[in-house]
Amino acid sequence: MKLVRYGAKGKERPGALDADGTIRDLSGMIDDIGPAALSPESLARLRETDLQSLPSVAPQRLGTPVARSRKFLAIGTNYRRHADEAGMPHPAEPILFTKAISCLSGPDDDILLPPGATQLDWEVELGVIIGSVARHVARADALAHVAGYCVVNDVSERAYQLARGGSWDKGKGYDSFGPVGPWLVTADEIPDPQALELFLEVNGTMMQGGSTADMIFGVADIISYVSGFITLEPGDIIATGTPHGVGMGMTPPRFLAAGDKLRLGIGGLGEQNQTVVPDAR
């Protein structure tokens, strides 16, 4: 099942895609696609729904496919070829950092270029959305805690991230640095999260192409590991790392500028399209 949230920012409504790709309104069944809607029991009820019987919705803006997430976590340097291009050793344990909840944005919303930013970079990633509480979870049980999967662009300002001291977080959390969606694809439709193809284009030129098979730590490893440090709750989002081809790894480096257009996606999980615009607020 493909779940969406549609409408103006801050006023999104819950929906699902039918077999023809038409959005069907779920607001008569659930108030939103928030933590309560992501439980295994709730998702089972939604899967039994005859979507054709629900009102159709005209194409419009999509928001993040999950509401009221309490945590937006991410894993760094988690693809072998990406580690190699960055000249970094393959980590012995997952590198964990946080993206600010305030950076979440819709899959096609503009990316804001912060004033004075010089090293804005892209990272297509597989996102994992938690559906049930995970605390000290064994690897063998980890995927049972997944509600679904989505596309994430882990937008990063590399100078903020790497050249200004402290943690990575301040290079990862600016407003609009967390496009998520277009859909939450429920876990039953993704039998193997380690067999998904990812891509990202800038201005029509392919920059990233890879497979989740290249992950150093797979989804089950990540959930098991993170749940030993942080209790994972329904609605939490984990971005699981990016394949090779980021701007920082090019010779010379290539960073985003105002007017650049991105297209990115993952097989079976949909595509995002964004334009970089100066933050004039």
In sequence order, the β-bridge partners of residue 74 are 97, 239
Number of helices followed by number of strands (H, E) in the chain:
4, 19
CA atoms of 24 and 15, how far apart (whole Å):
5
State the amino acid at position 53 in one-letter form. S
Q: What is the pLDDT of residues 193-238, one digit of tens each?
A: 999 999 999 999 999 999 999 999 999 999 999 999 999 999 999 9
User: What confidence score (pLDDT) does residue 81 get?
Assistant: 87
pLDDT higher at 167 or 20:
20
Beta strands 120-121 and 156-157: pairing type?
A: antiparallel
- Count CA atoms within 13 Å of residue 207 on its CB side: 26
- What pTM does this model have? 0.97
CA atoms of 5 and 15, how far apart (whole Å):
6
User: What confidence score (pLDDT) does residue 250 get?
Assistant: 93
Question: What's the Cα-to-Cα distance from 37 to each of 16, 41, 131, 147, rounded to whole Å?
Answer: 13, 9, 9, 10
Question: Token digits for 25?
Answer: 């309104």
Per mean pLDDT, which range of 77-86, 93-102, 141-150, 247-256 is the poorest?
77-86
Q: Domain residue spans in the chain? A: 2-57, 72-278
User: What confidence score (pLDDT) does residue 120 get?
Assistant: 98
- Using pLDDT thresholds of 50, 70 and 90, give the confidence band for residue 278: very high
At 97, phi and psi to the nearest 5?
-145, 175
User: What confidence score (pLDDT) does residue 162 get?
Assistant: 81
Q: What is the pLDDT of residues 235-247, one digit of tens each?
A: 999 999 999 999 9
CA atoms of 69 and 81, how far apart (whole Å):
31
Cβ-based neighbours of 153, under 8 Å, separated by 6 or more? 111, 122, 123, 124, 125, 178, 179, 200, 262, 264, 272, 274
User: What confidence score (pLDDT) does residue 163 get?
Assistant: 78
Above 80 in pLDDT, residue 166? Answer: no
Share of the chain above pLDDT 90, in %: 93
**Of 42, 24, 41, which Cα lies nearest the Cα of 33?**
42
CA atoms of 104 and 111, how far apart (whole Å):
11
Domain 72-278 fold is Fumarylacetoacetate hydrolase; domain 2 (3.90.850)
Q: Are 111 and 261 in contact, with CB atoms under 8 Å apart? A: no
CA atoms of 213 and 19, how far apart (whole Å):
28
User: What confidence score (pLDDT) does residue 87 get?
Assistant: 83
